[in-house]
Structure 1
Amino acid sequence: MAAACPGLIVAGLRGGSGKTFLTMSLVSYWGAMGRWVVTFKKGPDYIDAAWLAMASGRPCYNLDPYLMSPEQILASYARRTEAAQVAVVEGNRGLFDGVDEHGTYSTAELAKLLGLPVVVVLDVTKTTRTAAAMVLGLRALDPELPIAGVVLNQVGNPRHESILRKSVERYGGVAVLGALPRLRDLGLPERHLGLVPPPEKRDAKGILERAAELVSHYVDVEALWELALKHTRCIPQVHLYRAKRQASKSGAKLGVIRDSAFHFYYPENLEALADEGLQLVEIDALKHSGLPKVDGLYMGGGFPEMFASALADNQGLRREIRSMVLDGLPVYAECGGLMYLGEGIRAQGRSYPMVGALPLWTEFTDRPQGHGYTALEAVEENPFIPKGDLLKGHEFHYSRVVSLDESKVRFAFSVKRGRGLDGHRDGILKENVLASYTHLHAASCEDWAFRVAECAKARKASAERLALKALP
Structure 2
Amino acid sequence: MTVSREKVPGVVIAGLRGGSGKTIISLGITAAWRARNITVAPFKKGPDYIDAGWLSRAAGRPCYNLDTYLCAQSVVQTSYLTHSQSCDIAMVEGNRGLYDGIDLDGTTSTSELAKLLDLPVILVLDCTKSTRTMAAVLMGCMQFDPDINICGVILNRMAGKRHEGKVRANIEHFCNIPVFGALPKLKQEDFPERHMGLVTSEEHQESDTSLARARQVALDNIDVDELFRRITSFKGQGMPLVDNDRQESVPAMNTAENKKQATDISTVTIGVVRDSAFQFYYPDNIEALENLGAGIKFISPLSQSDIPEVDAIYMGGGFPETHATQLSANQVFRDNLKALSRKGLPIYAECGGLIFLGESICLDDVVYPMTGILPLRFGLSKRPQGHGYTEVEVVNENPFYAKGEVLRGHEFRYSKVISIDYDDSAMAFKMTRGKGIIEKKDGFFKDNTFGTYTHIHTLGTTSWAPSLIAKARRFKASRQ
TM-score bin, normalised by smaller chain = over 0.9
Q: 2:78 is matched with which residue?
A: 75
Distance 1:236 1:128, change over 3 A: closer
Task: Kindly provide the CA deviation profile for residues 137-186 of structure 1, in whole angstroms up to 9, marking residues without a partner as x.
Answer: 00110011100000000011111111100101111222111000112255
Structure 1 residue aligned with 2:406, among 348, 370, 390? 390
Q: Structure 1: where are the runs of 5+ without partners?
A: 465-472
Structure 2 residue aligned with 1:399, among 415, 418, 423? 415
Task: Kindly provide the CA deviation profile for residues 66-104 of structure 1, in whole angstroms up to 9, marking residues without a partner as x.
Answer: 111110011100110111110000000000000012211
* Whole-angstrom CA distance in 2 between matches of 1:285 and 1:232: 50
Q: 2:300 is matched with which residue?
A: 284
Q: 1:62 is matched with which residue?
A: 65
Q: 1:275 is matched with which residue?
A: 291
Structure 1 residue aligned with 2:251, among 241, 250, 263? 241
Does the CA contact (< 8 Å) of 1:378 and 1:413 recur in 2? Answer: yes
Does the CA contact (< 8 Å) of 1:115 and 1:232 recur in 2? Answer: no
Please tell me whether residue 307 in structure 1 is matched to residue 323 in structure 2. yes
Identity %: 46
* Whole-angstrom CA distance in 2 between matches of 1:460 and 1:109: 44
* Whole-angstrom CA distance in 1 between matches of 2:102 and 2:423: 37
Task: Kindly provide the CA deviation profile for residues 374-433 of structure 1, in whole angstroms up to 9, marking residues without a partner as x.
Answer: 000011112222211110000011111111111497000000001111242000011101
Does the CA contact (< 8 Å) of 1:253 and 1:295 recur in 2? Answer: yes
Q: Report SS of the residue matched to 1:26.
A: helix
Structure 1 residue aligned with 2:178, among 156, 175, 179? 175
* Whole-angstrom CA distance in 1 between matches of 2:287 and 2:308: 21
* Whole-angstrom CA distance in 2 between matches of 1:79 and 1:408: 42
Q: Report SS of the residue matched to 1:279.
A: strand
Q: How many residues align?
A: 464
Q: Report SS of the residue matched to 1:44.
A: coil
Please tell me whether residue 129 in structure 1 is matched to residue 135 in structure 2. no
Residue 35 of structure 1 deviates from its aligned partner by: 1.2
Structure 1 residue aligned with 2:372, among 356, 361, 381? 356
Residue 232 of structure 1 deviates from its aligned partner by: 5.6
Structure 1 residue aligned with 2:474, among 440, 458, 461? 458
* Whole-angstrom CA distance in 2 between matches of 1:68 and 1:408: 29
Q: 1:467 is matched with which residue?
A: none
* Whole-angstrom CA distance in 2 between matches of 1:384 and 1:173: 55
Structure 2 residue aligned with 1:206, among 180, 204, 209? 209
Q: Report SS of the residue matched to 1:101.
A: coil
- The letter of the residue matching 2:159 is G
* Whole-angstrom CA distance in 1 between matches of 2:13 and 2:127: 16
Q: Report SS of the residue matched to 1:414.
A: strand
Does the CA contact (< 8 Å) of 2:190 and 2:213 recur in 1? Answer: no
* Whole-angstrom CA distance in 2 between matches of 1:451 and 1:422: 25
Residue 231 of structure 1 deviates from its aligned partner by: 2.9
Residue 240 of structure 1 deviates from its aligned partner by: 3.6
- The letter of the residue matching 1:288 is Q
Q: 1:341 is matched with which residue?
A: 357
Please tell me whether residue 417 in structure 1 is matched to residue 433 in structure 2. yes
* Whole-angstrom CA distance in 2 between matches of 1:232 and 1:251: 45
* Whole-angstrom CA distance in 2 between matches of 1:224 and 1:110: 20
Q: 1:469 is matched with which residue?
A: none
* Whole-angstrom CA distance in 2 between matches of 1:27 and 1:265: 21
Structure 2 residue aligned with 1:156, among 155, 159, 163? 159
Task: Kindly provide the CA deviation profile for residues 247-285 of structure 1, in whole angstroms up to 9, marking residues without a partner as x.
Answer: 453231111110010000000101111111111110011
Does the CA contact (< 8 Å) of 1:346 and 1:352 recur in 2? Answer: yes
- The letter of the residue matching 2:217 is L
Residue 236 of structure 1 deviates from its aligned partner by: 4.6
Q: 1:426 is matched with which residue?
A: 442
Task: Kindly provide the CA deviation profile for residues 113-133 of structure 1, in whole angstroms up to 9, marking residues without a partner as x.
Answer: 101000000000000000000
- The letter of the residue matching 2:270 is L
Q: 2:39 is matched with which residue?
A: 36
Does the CA contact (< 8 Å) of 1:299 and 1:337 recur in 2? Answer: yes
TM-score (normalised: structure 1): 0.95
- The letter of the residue matching 1:361 is R
* Whole-angstrom CA distance in 2 between matches of 1:306 and 1:250: 39
Q: 2:195 is matched with which residue?
A: 192
Does the CA contact (< 8 Å) of 1:408 and 1:430 recur in 2? Answer: no
* Whole-angstrom CA distance in 1 between matches of 2:5 and 2:154: 31
Please tell me whether residue 17 in structure 1 is matched to residue 20 in structure 2. yes
Please tell me whether residue 114 in structure 1 is matched to residue 117 in structure 2. yes
Q: 2:271 is matched with which residue?
A: 255
Does the CA contact (< 8 Å) of 1:5 and 1:232 recur in 2? Answer: no
Q: 2:245 is matched with which residue?
A: none
Does the CA contact (< 8 Å) of 2:400 and 2:467 recur in 1? Answer: yes
Please tell me whether residue 225 in structure 1 is matched to residue 235 in structure 2. no
Distance 1:400 1:453, change over 3 A: same
Please tell me whether residue 321 in structure 1 is matched to residue 321 in structure 2. no
Aligned-pair Cα RMSD in Å: 1.7
Structure 2 residue aligned with 1:330, among 322, 325, 346? 346
Q: 2:102 is matched with which residue?
A: 99
Please tell me whether residue 215 in structure 1 is matched to residue 231 in structure 2. no
Does the CA contact (< 8 Å) of 1:61 and 1:266 recur in 2? Answer: yes
Structure 1's consecutive aligned runs of 4 or more residues displaced over 4 angstroms after TM superposition are: 236-239, 242-248
Does the CA contact (< 8 Å) of 1:378 and 1:387 recur in 2? Answer: yes
- The letter of the residue matching 1:309 is T
Between 424-433 and 226-235, the greater mean CA deviation after superposition: 226-235
* Whole-angstrom CA distance in 1 between matches of 2:229 and 2:252: 36
- The letter of the residue matching 1:143 is P
* Whole-angstrom CA distance in 2 between matches of 1:59 and 1:167: 39
